[in-house]
Amino acid sequence: MNGSAKKLQRSSGSLLILDAANQKVCYFFFKDDFADQKSLLSALSSILQQLFMLDPALLSDEILLQFDANGQWLAASFVELWQILIKVADSNPDTEIICLIDAVDECNEKERSQLFKALCELCGSKKSLNLKFLITSRPYREIGMGFKPLENLNLPVIHLSGESDGEMRKVVKEIDIAIRERVKTIGVQQTLTDDEQLILITRLLSVRNRTYLWAHLTLDLIERQLDISKEKIINITSHLPQNVNEAYERILCRTFSKDKATRMLHLIIAADRPLTVGEMIVTLELQQHHQSIDEIEIEPEHRFREKIRDICGLVTVSESRVFLLHQTVKEFLISTDHTEPTSLSWKHSVLVQGPNLTLTYVCVWCLQLGHSMKGRSTLSWAAGNGHDGVVEHLIRGLSIGPRSWRIILRQGANVNQFDSDNRPPLTYAIWNEHLSVIRHLVEAGAWSDVPDVLGATPISYATLVVREDIPRNANHKEGEKLLLSAAKYGHIHVVRVLLEAKETNVNPKDDEGWTPLMWAINYRHSGIVKLLLAHKADVDFRDRAGMTPLHFAARYGQFEVAKLILRTGRADVNMPDLDGLTPLHQAARWKQDDIAQLILRTGVAKVHARVDRQDPAFSWVIRYNSCSTLRLMFDLYDEKLCAQDCTEAILVTDKEWADKDWADKLKLMLRSRKIDFNLGDDKGETILHRAVKKRSNQMIKEILATENAPTNSRDSRGLTPFALACLTLDLDSVSSFLAVDSVDPNIADINGYTPLHHTVQEHSVPITSALITTAKVRVNMKNKDGRTPLSLACLKGNTTLAKCFFHNDQVDINTQDIHGRTPAHDCVWMEDVNMLRLILQTGRVNLNVVDKQRCTPLLLAVRHRKWHLAFRLLDYEQAVNMKDQSGKAALVWATMHGHSGIVRLLKSLEQTDLNVRDEEGLTPLSHAAKRGDEEIIRMLLDEPDIDVEVEDDTGMTALGHAAKRGHFGAVELLFKEGNAKLLTRDDSGRILLALAAADAMKVKN
């Protein structure tokens, strides 16, 4: 990866020059994902195994005898294995042994220190062995400290740094070369033109921070495109993943089976060792209901290899084992905050415990399979099949190394090795009565008194196999426990033997109240179920939760078992459990249509009965089962079903999960007259509301065509079905409602919104236009805020919607909301120039309307400095002298804000009152004088009608205000051009000093 760094350690001097004739190269790659791959013992065992396989002559008689005497102890000792490696090198001076050990930083920390110590001792000794080590590691501090003694021995330690800018540029250059070469390969495969290849290379090289892994993943995505062209290349490369995580996300999103991809990733992450391709095929197909390996459809390995990347693109196959494509895949998937993912992204979608849980389920399902998946040893197979010679040969043997790296020299089988059911080979030999095998095993030390998962020992099985009766002095409880366990774990031969024994209780129960029949149903042992039913097992026996065997069969979808139970004629199909649920409830709830139909066909199911306040069973059938089951129920039990309960059930349906058969169910219920149209759910929604929500236009038409259709019913929000159709923007449904005379399109909801309000709110031009054009819709209705649909359209700035209203003469363009604002006011508030222009162009707008602040649209514009709107409003020369609640006219506000353009435009209008006074008696000239705005003063003095001597409520003129504030330029203008009087006093009656100064200025001139 870009920026990575490793340390390399070469022991024993010179460069490694390979010569196959006298050199033996062994290797081991540490990886902390699996226990065996981070073990130093595994590393040494693997290296020894490779040495002996490359040259069997290296395995001397002395070493063989050593393993023969202490094989298991030697395999667990690093010191002994290390000494054997040294001994092999010392005894073969003509053979150069090279050990390549990669990623030693991923080795177990304690064992790694042992390796460093051993290397230091080896290199520091005076022995000249033909043994070399090439060790690589990431440059962690503790690793560097471990290498330090080796550096002191003048052994070469190389640090490959990828952090400097120079190195980074070199790495990027190498990545670019790799990309160009890979594009050439893709070009040949996809017959790309030179131009297409150039586009592809250019786009790829434009991505920053590219790495080898990113390049590999991205090019893999491109290469897997089946149909590629220049346009497609541009499209693909316009949305390239910008980093490795994005590439991972896209690769995983291409999977054709998310469930299989998830399971595959979970298994790889959780497994202690890599799974083989064959194991992965089985584990992906394995499900809980499988009882034997023969039931699983096992795909040929060669075909599975071809499509494994289509299942999950982040895995790779090496030496028939399945690995993650890169160690960062695990970091990408695993969630670090231990919380459920909140999005649909693959990143951090795997909780820490998730993979272990998946692996646990798969392992448990494997244990439930026939003995071929029980983890039986070779010796157990041989013993069970009576291969006496094989058993004798297997008992003797020799092996070295731990289990995963075992070198099979002479395999010595453990005669007491138990399988997953805690059974030794002796048990299988006894089951099949192979006396010679039994003798060999007993002589080899086989135990005969260790109980298995059923509590039975090889001796007790020997008694059962010869079919002897249970001894009179035996404890019958033990026999009952054995029957429960045998039924639970699927041991049909044990069940058969026990059932044929005298005085066997076929209905014993455990602490949970479960009988053998219940356990057999729960674990899907259909053969045992048949046996138990044949021996009159109680089919109405209830466990602690009140459930019968038929409840179990219905809940777990075991059709054949349910059929067997019902055929006995002894089952009560209406028996409720402690929650009041009958078997029919269970079959309905878990959508087991075939079992529900079985129960209904008995003709005695109490579909209408209520137990412990539970809904009747027929309600559950309506909610959860298919149309075929519903039709059967109506055919057989029509008279017992009332419309109210049926309607309540269909209203609940689809609230819990999407029901694709909802419309078909409703149609069937309409035909059967099982619908109460006026009944609503907890939110007041009727069946017509629900049909609108489902966008089932055909059902809407059928309901509207009925005599008692609730066309104008309202839900808890006050919405009618028609309003709901407008909200869902379903034009077909809206048209169906408008075609019915009884539909009132003007009913408002609790907020005063009519259907027309809703269509405007949702920006639907087609539906809004359709409503406006019908004479039934009142276009000027107001909501609680006093806004009409036109007001909403103006507030939302939707000019297309607004035009629909402007073309209708019935629409009141000057309507006011609760704040007194018209659409024109709203346009000014929202600064919507385009909408204001449309309103003004209608010619029907009244710009003299004032809001509750006494503001016209013009006053609102100038008061809030929205000058571009003020200019447009002044084109219509309306309301120029109107005052707001503060008594200020538009000219006063424009003067106060100092906008000479608006002042100029206003004074040019004939109707403008230039001497208009505000609530304090100030004229526009007074305000300009107070501000010292000489431009506006000069502009106003140019008008002959201007009165410079107007006094405000305090007796001050414009000259007084200018003088009081020291605006000498303004004072001079008022003297010279306005001929203002000198004797001006302030509100205290004193002659202003500033005025005296101004007088002196005049005398001087």
Torsion of CA 73, 79, 80, 81, to 10 degrees: 100
Given a contact cutoff of 8 angstroms between Cβ atoms, the answer to whether 946 and 940 are in contact is yes
426: nearest Cα among 463, 495, 379, 394: 379
Q: What is the distance between the alpha carbons of residues 919 and 720, in angstroms, rounded to a whole number?
A: 51
Quick count: other Cβ atoms within 10 Å of Cβ 976? 12
pLDDT attached to residue 343: 62
Tell me which of 441, 465, 489 is where a domain ends.
Answer: 465
pLDDT attached to residue 373: 42
Q: Is the pLDDT of residue 777 over 50?
A: yes
Q: What is the distance between the alpha carbons of residues 150 and 332, in angstroms, rounded to a whole number?
A: 37
pLDDT attached to residue 933: 93
pLDDT attached to residue 466: 47
Residue-wise pLDDT tens digits, 433-475 = 777 787 778 777 788 778 876 677 777 766 555 444 333 333 4
Q: Is the pLDDT of residue 384 over 90?
A: no
Residue-wise pLDDT tens digits, 38-47 = 888 889 988 9
* Same domain? 62 vs 16: yes
Quick count: other Cβ atoms within 10 Å of Cβ 764? 22
Pure H helices in 95-164: 109-124, 141-152
pLDDT attached to residue 322: 87
pLDDT attached to residue 903: 94
| Residues β-bridged to residue 7 | 137, 159
- Asked if residue 769 is part of any domain, the answer here is no
* Same domain? 437 vs 315: no
Q: What is the distance between the alpha carbons of residues 796 and 835, in angstroms, rounded to a whole number?
A: 10
- Asked if residue 90 is part of any domain, the answer here is yes
Q: What is the distance between the alpha carbons of residues 653 and 625, in angstroms, rounded to a whole number?
A: 10
Q: Check residues 746 and 336 and name the one with the higher pLDDT.
A: 746
Residue carrying structure tokens 């084992």: 321
Residue-wise pLDDT tens digits, 853-897 = 999 999 999 999 999 999 999 998 888 999 999 899 999 999 999
Q: Which secondary structure element, helix H or strand E, spans residue 545, and what is its range? A: none
Task: Grade residue 5 by pLDDT with cuts at 50, 70 and 90.
Answer: very low
pLDDT attached to residue 989: 53
Q: What is the distance between the alpha carbons of residues 615 and 624, in angstroms, rounded to a whole number?
A: 13
What letter does residue 536 receive in the DSSP assignment? T
Q: What is the distance between the alpha carbons of residues 390 and 890, in angstroms, rounded to a whole number?
A: 112
pLDDT attached to residue 75: 72
**Which domain, by its residues, includes 365?**
252-371
Tell me which of 321, 355, 371 is where a domain ends.
Answer: 371
SS (H, E, C) 722-786: HHHHHHCCCHHHHHHHHCCCCCCCCCCCCCCCCHHHHHHHCCCHHHHHHHHHCCCCCCCCCCCCC
* Same domain? 15 vs 82: yes
Q: Which secondary structure element, helix H or strand E, spans residue 101, and what is its range? A: strand 96-102
Q: Is the pLDDT of residue 407 over 60?
A: no
* Same domain? 10 vs 156: yes
pLDDT attached to residue 283: 85
Q: Check residues 236 and 54 and name the one with the higher pLDDT.
A: 54
* Same domain? 112 vs 57: yes
Residue-wise pLDDT tens digits, 269-315 = 888 788 888 888 888 888 877 766 667 787 888 888 888 878 887 78
* Same domain? 356 vs 445: no
| Residues β-bridged to residue 23 | 96
- Asked if residue 395 is part of any domain, the answer here is yes
End-to-end alpha-carbon separation of the chain, Å?
88
pLDDT attached to residue 467: 41
Given a contact cutoff of 8 angstroms between Cβ atoms, the answer to whether 213 and 326 are in contact is yes
- Asked if residue 32 is part of any domain, the answer here is yes
- Asked if residue 126 is part of any domain, the answer here is yes
Cα atoms in the Cβ-side hemisphere of radius 13 Å centred on 680: 17
Q: What's the rounded mean pLDDT across residues 531-551? A: 94
Cα atoms in the Cβ-side hemisphere of radius 13 Å centred on 732: 11
Given a contact cutoff of 8 angstroms between Cβ atoms, the answer to whether 391 and 383 are in contact is yes
266: which residues sit within 8 A by CB, 6+ positions away?
A: 350, 354, 355, 358, 359
SS (H, E, C) 319-352: CCEEEECCHHHHHHHECCCCCCCCCCCCCCCECC
The alpha carbons of the chain give a radius of gyration, in whole angstroms, of 46
* Same domain? 51 vs 152: yes
554: nearest Cα among 512, 590, 516: 590
Distance of CA 973 to the CA centre of its chain: 76
* Same domain? 156 vs 237: no
3-state secondary structure of 96: strand
605: nearest Cα among 661, 643, 562: 562
CATH code at 429? 1.25.40.20
41: which residues sit within 8 A by CB, 6+ positions away?
A: 75, 76, 78, 81, 111, 402
- Asked if residue 864 is part of any domain, the answer here is no
Q: What's the rounded mean pLDDT across residues 76-88? A: 86
Q: What's the rounded mean pLDDT across residues 203-210? A: 72
Instruction: Please tell me the pTM assigned to this model.
Output: 0.49
| Residues β-bridged to residue 400 | 407
Q: Is the pLDDT of residue 955 over 80?
A: yes
Residue-wise pLDDT tens digits, 120-160 = 888 777 666 788 888 888 777 777 777 677 666 666 666 66
* Same domain? 63 vs 123: yes
121: which residues sit within 8 A by CB, 6+ positions away?
A: none
- Asked if residue 175 is part of any domain, the answer here is yes
* Same domain? 359 vs 454: no
Given a contact cutoff of 8 angstroms between Cβ atoms, the answer to whether 131 and 97 are in contact is yes
Q: Check residues 946 and 21 and name the one with the higher pLDDT.
A: 946
Q: What is the distance between the alpha carbons of residues 99 and 91, in angstroms, rounded to a whole number?
A: 17
pLDDT attached to residue 401: 43
> Highest mean pLDDT: which of 215-219, 331-335, 413-417, 528-532?
528-532
Q: What percent of the chain has pLDDT over 70?
A: 81
Pure H helices in 411-473: 425-431, 435-443, 458-465
pLDDT attached to residue 238: 64
Task: Grade residue 538 by pLDDT with cuts at 50, 70 and 90.
Answer: very high
Tokens standing for residue 660? 């694709």
Residue carrying structure tokens 């194991």: 279
| Residues β-bridged to residue 276 | 321
Report the interhelical angle of 230-237 vs 194-205 (nearest 10°).
0
Distance of CA 418 to the CA centre of its chain: 43
Q: Is the pLDDT of residue 363 over 80?
A: no
Burial 144-166 (b: 16+ CB within 10 A, else e): eebbebbeeeebeeeeeeeeeee
pLDDT attached to residue 1004: 44
Q: For 433, phi and psi rounded to 5 degrees?
A: 60, 40
Q: Is the pLDDT of residue 592 over 80?
A: yes
Pure H helices in 468-525: 476-489, 492-500, 516-522
- Asked if residue 292 is part of any domain, the answer here is yes
Q: Check residues 660 and 603 and name the one with the higher pLDDT.
A: 603
Residue-wise pLDDT tens digits, 390-399 = 677 677 654 4
Q: Check residues 965 and 183 and name the one with the higher pLDDT.
A: 965
Query: Strand 407-410 vs strand 315-318: parallel, antiparallel, or unpaired?
Result: unpaired
Sheet of 23-29: strand order equals 23-29, 96-102, 131-137, 6-10, 157-160
Q: What is the distance between the alpha carbons of residues 254 and 221, in angstroms, rounded to a whole number?
A: 9
pLDDT attached to residue 765: 94
* Same domain? 50 vs 129: yes
Mean pLDDT of the chain: 81
Q: How many domains does the chain have?
A: 5
pLDDT attached to residue 189: 76
Tokens standing for residue 567? 């055929």
Q: Is the pLDDT of residue 529 over 50?
A: yes
Coarse DSSP helix, strand, coil percentages of the chain, rounded to the nearest 5 percent: 50, 5, 45
Tell me which of 138, 160, 182 is where a domain ends.
Answer: 160
Quick count: other Cβ atoms within 10 Å of Cβ 275? 20
943: which residues sit within 8 A by CB, 6+ positions away?
A: 907, 914
Q: Check residues 814 and 232 and name the one with the higher pLDDT.
A: 814
* Same domain? 427 vs 284: no
Q: What is the distance between the alpha carbons of residues 598 and 584, in angstroms, rounded to a whole number?
A: 9
What letter does residue 615 receive in the DSSP assignment? P
Q: What's the rounded mean pLDDT across residues 581-591? A: 92
Q: Check residues 261 and 778 and name the one with the higher pLDDT.
A: 778
Q: What is the distance between the alpha carbons of residues 824 and 816, in angstroms, rounded to a whole number?
A: 10
Q: What's the rounded mean pLDDT across residues 405-414? A: 55
Q: What is the distance between the alpha carbons of residues 413 and 692, in angstroms, rounded to a whole number?
A: 72
Q: For 979, phi and psi rounded to 5 degrees?
A: 55, 45
What are the distances in angstroms from CA 755 to CA 266, 740, 747, 815, 830?
51, 16, 7, 19, 25
